[in-house]
Amino acid sequence: MSLRFGVLGPLQVTRDGVSVRLGTLKQRLMLTMLLMEPNRTVPLERLMAALWEDSPPNSAMYNLRSYANKLRQALTDGHNSRVITRRPGYALEVNGGELDSVEFAGRLRQGQADLSKGAPREALRHLSAGLALWRGRPAEDVPRTVPVAPWLDALEEQRCLALESYAAARLELGEHEIMVTDLRTLVSRHPTRERMWGHLMLALYRSGDIEGALAAYAAARQALAERLGVDPGPDLVALHRAMLARDPALAPASARRRSGARCGRARSRGHGLPCYRRR
């Protein structure tokens, strides 16, 4: 029997494709803590802090053992339970390819490496496969207690990086016109991410909508000022100046190769963004 653990959306465990019942919110939160550090011991103190924060009941230790026992019974692979007692706490045994967040991180690393090597098609393959693993907000049905929240935020950040790299690859392949709508959606959901704004600007510019590209820069500057109290960073400013100067280096890589032009600043910075589906 094979187990599959999912945190890139509602917490999910399947056994041979069949959903496993995970019990109460406390049990699900405990499982999330174990999935944060697969194959490593999570101390009892950290588990208690996640489940009850600053006010554990007198029965906290008893309850914790009860949750562990119930998870141990639920998370078997037909031979052994994956939840093991290991001083000073508990650990969850996870094999390669069983946890979606680990698979996603690997796909993201490979996609970014392919992109940096000038292989956008290969990058798209890995990034598309990684983004397809997402089913919603990470562990969205689990309470965001203090020990869990930073990990969930980090997963969201990785997702944004994957979306940005995915779009960068598509823009390098000259798919700018079909990207505009998705990029507008992305910047509306992530208005302080400058790279996303840069991708939208570049998609509009390469589609022939120079006025729209410059308007996107103005919108980015306004969003950054209102939400963060900062001006656009040097990369976005440089892109804006290049557009004002009609810099030929802003053409897609494929067009630059056909014309024999040398690669310029736009390629090295990888401006471009991906399509995004809210599930």
130 and 207 assigned to the same domain? no
| Residue 18: alpha-carbon gap to chain centroid | 26
234 and 256 assigned to the same domain? yes
Instruction: Summarize pLDDT for 39-72 with one digit per residue, the tens.
Output: 999 999 999 999 998 889 999 999 999 999 999 9
Contact of 161 with 203, CB cutoff 8 Å: no
End of a domain among 116, 150, 173?
A: 173
> How confident is the model at residue 80, as a pLDDT?
87
> How confident is the model at residue 253, as a pLDDT?
64
159 and 189 assigned to the same domain? no
> How confident is the model at residue 251, as a pLDDT?
84
Distance CA 143, CA 50 (A): 9
> How confident is the model at residue 269, as a pLDDT?
38
- Mean pLDDT split into 10-residue runs, the chain, 279 residues: 94 96 96 97 96 91 96 89 94 96 98 97 98 97 93 97 97 94 96 98 96 98 98 98 95 59 33 37
End of a domain among 173, 202, 230?
A: 173
149 and 221 assigned to the same domain? no
CATH number, domain of 82, equals: 1.10.10.10
57: domain range?
Answer: 1-173
187 and 273 assigned to the same domain? yes
224 and 163 assigned to the same domain? no
201 and 156 assigned to the same domain? no
> How confident is the model at residue 78, as a pLDDT?
76
Cα Rg of the chain (Å, integer)? 23
Number of domains into which the chain is organized: 2
> How confident is the model at residue 255, as a pLDDT?
58
> How confident is the model at residue 256, as a pLDDT?
53
135 and 180 assigned to the same domain? no
CATH number, domain of 226, equals: 1.25.40.10
pTM score, whole prediction: 0.87
End of a domain among 173, 206, 232?
A: 173
